[in-house]
Amino acid sequence: MSSKKALTSGPFFVPLSVDGTRFGAVQFLLIGFKNIASHTSTVRLTVYNCRDTVLYPATPPEEEIYCKKVTIPAGDCAVIRLDAGPDTFGGNNMLRVAIKGDTDKDAEAIVIALSGNTADGRQALSMVFKHEEFIELNED
């Protein structure tokens, strides 16, 4: 059984458009989970947004926009869809996704993947993260 770990994506930008048109706006973030353990596993998913992308030395706050406990039976998968909007995220926001619980970089329990998509299903390449691209956090 894996130990409780915390992982985070690096910060990533939501593009204003994937193709330069208003139809290319990112409409939702898909967060996929797969439990590869032989037991039921649970993680806490948190999505953060830094809405103001002003240049340093300004330091706008990162705010929590979504938090959910996710429990997945052994061998099963789940997908969470977080829609873009005024209370979540929009183009030119900087997001970060963190998970804590039954997961780790060695993928002994729940593994995760992210994808930002347009209404017609096109992916924003800057918003695609595989499990191995997540960073392990030091928990104090």
pLDDT digit string (tens) for 72-106? 999 999 999 999 999 999 999 999 999 999 886 66
Instruction: Answer yes or no: is 44 within a domain.
Output: yes
Find out whether 62 and 49 touch, Cβ atoms under 8 Å. yes
User: In the chain, helix, strand, coil percent, each to 5?
Assistant: 5, 50, 45
* 140 occurs within a structural domain: no
pLDDT at 1 over 60: no
pTM beyond 0.75, yes or no = yes
Q: Which two tokens stand for residue 8?
A: 């985070």
Residue 44 Cα distances to 2, 13, 69, angstroms: 15, 22, 4
Give 120's pLDDT tier (boundaries 50, 70, 90): very high
Of the ranges 59-63, 88-92, 133-137, the best mean pLDDT one? 88-92
In a domain, 110, yes or no: yes
What pLDDT digit, counting tens, does each position of 38-54 carry?
Answer: 899 999 999 999 977 67
Q: Categorize the per-residue pLDDT at 59 as very low, low, confident or very high, splitting at 50, 70 and 90.
A: confident
User: Are the C-beta atoms of 110 and 41 separated by less than 8 Å?
Assistant: yes
Residue 139 lies in a domain: no
How far the first Cα of the chain sits from its last, in Å, is 22
In this prediction, residue 2 has a pLDDT band, given cuts at 50, 70 and 90, of: very low
Query: Is residue 21 included in any domain, yes or no?
Result: yes
Tell me whether residue 35 is in a domain: yes
Mean pLDDT of 122-139: 88
Length, in residues, of the chain: 140
Q: Would residue 1 count as lying in a domain? A: no
> What whole-number distance in Å separates Cα of residue 82 and Cα of residue 31?
8
Instruction: Specify if 138 maps to a domain.
Output: no
Report the alpha-carbon distance of residue 121 to residue 12 in Å, rounded: 19
Distance CA 14, CA 8 (A): 17
User: Residue 90 sits in a domain of what CATH number?
Assistant: 2.60.290
Whether 32 shows a pLDDT value over 70: the answer reads yes
Residue with structure tokens 């030119």?
Answer: 92
Domain count, the chain: 1
Q: By residue range, what is the domain housing residue 42?
A: 6-133
